[in-house]
Amino acid sequence: MARPRKPLLSRERIVAAASALVDAEGLDAVSTRRLAAELGVSGPSLYNHFRNKDEILDAVADTVSAKVDLSMFDESDPRDWRTALHDWALSYRAALTEHPNVVPVLARGPGRRPAGLKVADAVFGAMVRAGWPAAQATQIGALMRYFVTGSALGSFAGGFVDDATAYDPSDYPHLGQAHLLAEHQEKVDEGAFETGLRALLDGLAARYEAGARTKRTGAAPSDRA
Amino acid sequence: MARPRKPLLSRERIVAAASALVDAEGLDAVSTRRLAAELGVSGPSLYNHFRNKDEILDAVADTVSAKVDLSMFDESDPRDWRTALHDWALSYRAALTEHPNVVPVLARGPGRRPAGLKVADAVFGAMVRAGWPAAQATQIGALMRYFVTGSALGSFAGGFVDDATAYDPSDYPHLGQAHLLAEHQEKVDEGAFETGLRALLDGLAARYEAGARTKRTGAAPSDRA
DNA sequence: ACCTGAACACCGTTCAAGT
DNA sequence: ACCTGAACACCGTTCAAGT
């Protein structure tokens, strides 16, 4: 048919189809030929809208970043960084666990993805506004990303096989119950995430208090190892 | 030539070649044909030693798990779980950052990989011995994996492009310095990891103390949200 | 500008054939 | 048992040709 009077494709349509395919069958299921077939066109057509396949996946990843709620960073008391960080982490994780297959793409960092940069901007800005020094605000953005993407990348509980004979007691004396993990996958992973998040925030709060104290007294920051 | 009198291949040789290829050029560079060529054989030969490509990558991943030091869990005072966990986390992260390209494979969980299971067994056993209830020992294993694999999966600092014009101040008011992150990649990522690890351990220690207290007094565990 | 088919240089895996 | 080449059903991407 060659060129139609009305374009058959658009970046939006391509991204929507790619997202659906990634969610349903995983990253490996996305081939340019398969995706094009799903859209009723031939493979090379996609290259009129994206430079390559990676750019399509980047766009898919950015739609996930765009789902992360950031309202807690401008609505609340700027000094209550702990609550904001907590609520943001829950929203962040929820967005990723809804689309676990795109996490490896997201883990490449924001790059030039607008929604990814918006997230980084909001977190960093809020931490600085709350009184964290810039270097530590950066660290908080980083360590939160480590924890959230790590938790969404792969289930902990689901990483153990559901087969009691896989855990020979003479090799793994403490894994006698490990075959039960798969059954309680969601509960275990969510519980671990909540426990870790709370510990992380408790630990950061203690450091924040110590920082505020040294500011008042003018003492050097205590760096107990 | 058909079958030689002495086998040309072995699982060990295949895994070694695959590891080198993954480290040097990434997961995508490992194709069965390329790997076979590197070993001086034809592609299908590999299938005499592994069921499929995924099994080869699993074996590669397990050699990385095998590099994680676990000695801190049996040598030290069982009650000093904090120090053991800290030292283990450093060794765990070091093993992964030496082979960042295999992290996505590792993130699938231990499955039936012996070294991966050994790690899970050692951490869980040590936490239980230290007095943590089994459910919380599981959570600690999980949340530590989240944090360490998340930190090794992709650099935070390196995820930002090294191009000041990518950060339009009207879009990202707080990212004016973000283009400098790439330059200090290692320092930023290591600092964030250490800060996060310390916060995590501080937070867990507080929870451990609270648990020990309720045990002594017989009170219900306080679960302040 | 936006689509097509043909082409290039690849993939993972199966299988019959060889020793 | 362990290797081979041929074959099948795929890949990502380029490019000239069509409107």
Dump pLDDT digits (tens) for A113-152. Answer: 999 999 999 999 999 999 999 999 999 999 999 999 999 9
| Contact criterion met (CB below 8 Å) for B137 and B150 | no
B166-193 residue pLDDT tens: 999 999 999 999 999 999 999 999 999 9
| Contact criterion met (CB below 8 Å) for A58 and A49 | no
For residue B98, which of B64, B69, B72 has the smallest C-alpha distance?
Answer: B64
| Contact criterion met (CB below 8 Å) for A145 and B156 | yes
- Summarize the confidence of residues A43-69 as an average pLDDT: 98
Residues 139-168 of B with CB under 8 A from A: 139-143, 145-151, 153-161, 166-167
- Summarize the confidence of residues B151-177 as an average pLDDT: 97
Rounded Cα gap, residues A88 and A110, in angstroms: 17
pLDDT reported for residue B110 = 98
Rounded Cα gap, residues B198 and B203, in angstroms: 8
Q: For chain B, how far is it from start to end, CA to CA, in angstroms?
A: 70
Q: Write down the mean pLDDT value for chain B.
A: 94
Rounded Cα gap, residues B134 and B157, in angstroms: 36
- Summarize the confidence of residues B113-140 as an average pLDDT: 97
pLDDT reported for residue A219 = 57
Distance of B47 CA from C15 C1′ (whole Å) = 12
pLDDT band at residue B209 using 50, 70 and 90 as cut-offs: very high
Chain B residues near residue A114 by CB distance under 8 angstroms: 171
B18-77 residue pLDDT tens: 999 999 999 999 999 999 999 999 999 999 999 999 999 999 999 999 999 999 998 778
Residue B224 has pLDDT above 60, yes or no: no
Chain B residues near residue A157 by CB distance under 8 angstroms: 142
- The tally of CA atoms less than 13 A away on the side-chain side of residue A209 is 8
Helix (H/G/I), strand (E/B), else coil: A160? strand
Would you state the structure tokens that stand for residue A84, as one six-digit string? 């904001």
Distance from the B6 Cα atom to the nearest Cα atom in chain A, whole angstroms: 33
Which residue in the set B128, B135, B159 is minimally distant from A174, CB to CB? B128
pLDDT reported for residue B214 = 78
- Which nucleotides on chain C have any atom < 7 A from a protein Cβ? 1-7, 10-19
Chain B residues near residue A175 by CB distance under 8 angstroms: 117, 120-121, 124
Rounded Cα gap, residues A92 and A42, in angstroms: 36
Residue A12 has pLDDT above 60, yes or no: yes
Q: Which domains, and CATH codes, for chain A?
A: 11-64 (1.10.10.60), 68-217 (1.10.357.10)
Residue B215 has pLDDT above 80, yes or no: no
- Which nucleotides on chain D have any atom < 7 A from a protein Cβ? 1-7, 10-19
Residues 54-113 of B with CB under 8 A from A: 104, 107-112
Would you state the structure tokens that stand for residue B216, as one six-digit string? 């002594």
Neighbours of B101 (CB within 10 A): 19
pLDDT reported for residue B78 = 80
| Contact criterion met (CB below 8 Å) for A105 and A113 | no
φ/ψ (deg, to 5) at A160: -105, 135
Tell me the pTM: 0.95
A144-162 residue pLDDT tens: 999 999 999 999 999 999 9
| Contact criterion met (CB below 8 Å) for B194 and A143 | no
Neighbours of A87 (CB within 10 A): 15
pLDDT reported for residue B225 = 38
**Per DSSP, what are the bridge partners of residue B160?**
A111
The beta strands (E) that lie in chain A are given as none
Rounded Cα gap, residues A199 and A75, in angstroms: 25
Say which range, A213-217, B82-86, B127-131, has the weakest mean pLDDT: A213-217
Residue B108 has pLDDT above 50, yes or no: yes
Rounded Cα gap, residues B156 and A142, in angstroms: 6
Residue with the bigger pLDDT between A79 and B61: it is B61
- Summarize the confidence of residues A49-78 as an average pLDDT: 95
**Per DSSP, what are the bridge partners of residue A160?**
B111
